[in-house]
Amino acid sequence: MADRYLSLTGTAPGRFLTRRLGLPQPAELRRWSTEHPVLPGPLLHLTAGTSALDLAPVLDRTGLPRDGTGTPAAVVLDATGVRDVDALAGVHAALHPVVRSLVTSGRVLVLGAPLDPADHHQAAAQQALEGFTRSLGKEIGRGRTVNLVRLTDPAAAESTLRFLLSPRSAYVSGQVIEVAGGPVTAPADWERPLTGRTALVTGAARGIGEAVAGALARDGAHVVVLDVPAAEADARRVAERLGGTALALDITAADAGERIAAALPADLDVLVHNAGITRDRRLANMPAERWSPVLEVNLGSVLRGTDALLAKGALREGGRIVATASIAGLAGNAGQTNYGASKAGIVGLVRSLAPRALAEHGVTVNAVAPGFIETRMTAAVPLVIREAGRRMNSLAQGGLPVDVAETTAWLAHPASGAVNGQVVRVCGQSLLGA
């Protein structure tokens, strides 16, 4: 369903009216397309404190001219050398003069260091960057995003920096992402990084799952489009369009993992757990038959399927597992105790499994946590609730399925091997629980 309010605020009368009434004024977000693959304008590289990072080679590969003339499209602030309260003044001094000048849908990317457990002054100063980032994201406006990346090795963070400085991250803001050091696999072609790889996406016959399958296929993957038997026709349609393979299967079946492994055209490189259902009702009115299916589909099947595929060695070394959580599992949502529990369970799975899966199988495990995304499900929400969902984030609008898809594609990237155990919210920086 079209966001008529967003369209209204794009007109001169709409801007005047909403400004006079003190209403949100969302800006139309610049998203990736083949015609507009990069943001319009140069990148400013600033530093607070003393940094030992050599960022220039990576920043030069983002597609944005560095320190060029014109209105900046992005600002990268290297604050890895901020080690005490006094050094935080450098953060203010660097960004205060330039933050207003960013283009619409521009990017502010703050780079921080891991917290030092042996130096509580450094840990306090670096943690302060998180509060700064989230607060700036909520005030910067005009479709701009602000994120914090903690890193030690710029080369290990290249896929992350490229993603966050591109139109692909249009609905990702106010996030803190940890990038570990260590080797990563740079693709031969950054435009088709998944060439020769196989990806499986559950719940891929429609909605967000279809968008995820499309993004992975665009990046070169052969995609297995999995959905329930009742959606087989839609799954085949999507698979045919993407040049992939359709697989009709009930993921809650006890042997689903084994059946998936047997049906794969090749060993998996990317496993995306996207399938999910809702059965909303307040707990006092929720019978067991509305509770159990949600936990089974959204969490139980993910646990069993992941265990089975890892045990069978169906995921190649260097593989990626991306599960779908939700801000309902992070901040809670009235009428969704079952759904919130299932999605919080995904977060627990990621945090526990990620280090072991990497050590034992060479596979990373991460999650995306969507907020209000414009789908057929949210289109059926009553108008007032739908409008509240759209406006209650820093970008004052709903996201699109492609926003979740682009974030998933980044986590699935072969050069994202240093991103592990992360839960990344795709919510426009929700004003609740963000």
- Model confidence at 216, pLDDT cuts 50, 70, 90, reads very high
Q: What pLDDT digit, counting tens, does each position of 262-311 carry?
A: 999 889 999 999 999 999 999 999 999 999 999 999 999 999 999 999 99
Phi/psi class of residue 22: alpha, beta or left (left: φ > 0; alpha: ψ in -120 to 50)? left
CB 63 within 8 A of CB 42: no
Q: What is the mean pLDDT of residues 213-232?
A: 98
CATH 3.20.20.60 for domain 198-426, yes or no, is no
- Containing 114, the helix (H) or strand (E) segment is none
Asked if pLDDT for residue 376 goes beyond 90, the answer is no
The residue ranges of every structural domain in the chain are: 31-178, 198-426
CATH fold match for the domains 31-178 and 198-426: yes
| Per-residue pLDDT at 24 | 85
Asked if pLDDT for residue 434 goes beyond 60, the answer is no
Question: What's the half-sphere exposure (Cβ side, CA atoms, 13 Å) at 379?
Answer: 10
Q: E strands along 184-314, which residues?
A: 198-202, 222-227, 245-248, 268-273
Coil, helix or strand at residue 88: helix
Q: Which residues are catalytically annotated?
A: 339
Question: Which percentage of the chain shows pLDDT scores above 70?
Answer: 99
Mean pLDDT taken over the chain? 94
Q: What pLDDT digit, counting tens, does each position of 266-278 carry?
A: 899 999 999 999 9
Q: What is the CATH number of domain 31-178?
A: 3.40.50.720
Task: Specify the pTM.
Answer: 0.96
What token pair was written down for 128? 């302060």
